[in-house]
A and B are shown apart, each in its own frame.
Chain A
C-alpha cells in the first residue's frame, strides 16, 4: 500500500523559529492530511489539503502540495514549546489512510 514518508526524521529548533517538514508519497491521491501525535498519545488532525489545492493555511500552519512531485510540506511558524510532538502525513486510499513514520519536532524554550 502507498505510504507517505516524512523528512527530516527529527528536527530541533528554538522557540519562535519556523519549522518545516516534508512528506513524499508514491501514487495519486484525493487528499493529503497532516496529524500531530504527542508522545504516547493518539493522533490529532491538523489540516487537510485536496489534490486540486496548492496551499492551505490554518492559524500558524501552512501546508503546500505539489502533485507533480508527489510531495507536501508543513510549515509551523513562530513555534512554541507546546508544538513539541511528532508530525505525520497521511495519504488516502478508498476506505483507509496510510501514514508515514513522522517527523519528531522538538521546540526548545
Chain B
C-alpha cells in the first residue's frame, strides 16, 4: 500500500537528549515536510525538502535538524536546544511545486519527561 509512515507513535525524551523521528514514504513524492502541532494550535512548518540532499527551514526550525539522503526518507531530530519539544509532530509529502494534495503520516507524540 502506498503511503507515509511515521514512527514511533509515542516517544519520551529526557531533558538534554536528542531524539530522532522517522518519516518514510513510498509515494515517489519529491517534497516532504515536517510540521509541529500544539494543543488548540494550527500546524507550524519546521522544515521542508523539495529534492534529495536539499532542505529549507520553515517558520520554527530552531532546535531541530533534518536530513534528506534518500527520496523516501526525511528524519527529524529534535535536539536539546529545542526549549519546548513536547508536541505532536506530523510528516507530510507531496508532488510538485504547486501542492495539489499533501499526504500525512499518523503523527508522533513527543513528551519530555
Contacts and interface: CB of A to CB of B under 8 A. Distances in A.
Interface of A: 1, 3, 30-31, 33, 35, 40-45, 48, 88, 90, 92, 94-102
Contact of A96 (B99, B104, B105): B99
A95 B48 contact: yes
Nearest to B59: A1
Interface in B28-72: 31, 33, 35, 40-43, 45, 48, 50, 56, 58-59
A43 B102 contact: yes
A60 to B, nearest CB: 19
A95 B100 CA distance: 11
B40 A101 contact: yes
B106 A42 contact: yes
Contacts of A3: 42
Contacts, number: 62
Interface residues of B, number: 30
Interface of B: 6, 31, 33, 35, 40-43, 45, 48, 50, 56, 58-59, 88, 90, 92, 94, 97-107, 109
Contact of B107 (A40, A90, A101): A40
A31 B82 CA distance: 33
Nearest to A104: B40
Given A33-B101, A43-B90, A48-B101, 10 more contacts: A1-B45, A33-B102, A40-B107, A42-B107, A44-B104, A88-B42, A97-B94, A99-B42, A101-B40, A101-B42
Contact of A98 (B45, B92, B103): B45
Contact of A30 (B50, B98, B104, B109): B98
A96 B40 contact: no
Contacts of A33: 99, 101-102
A-B residue pairs, 8 tightest by C-beta: A42-B104, A101-B42, A99-B43, A43-B104, A45-B101, A99-B42, A42-B106, A100-B42
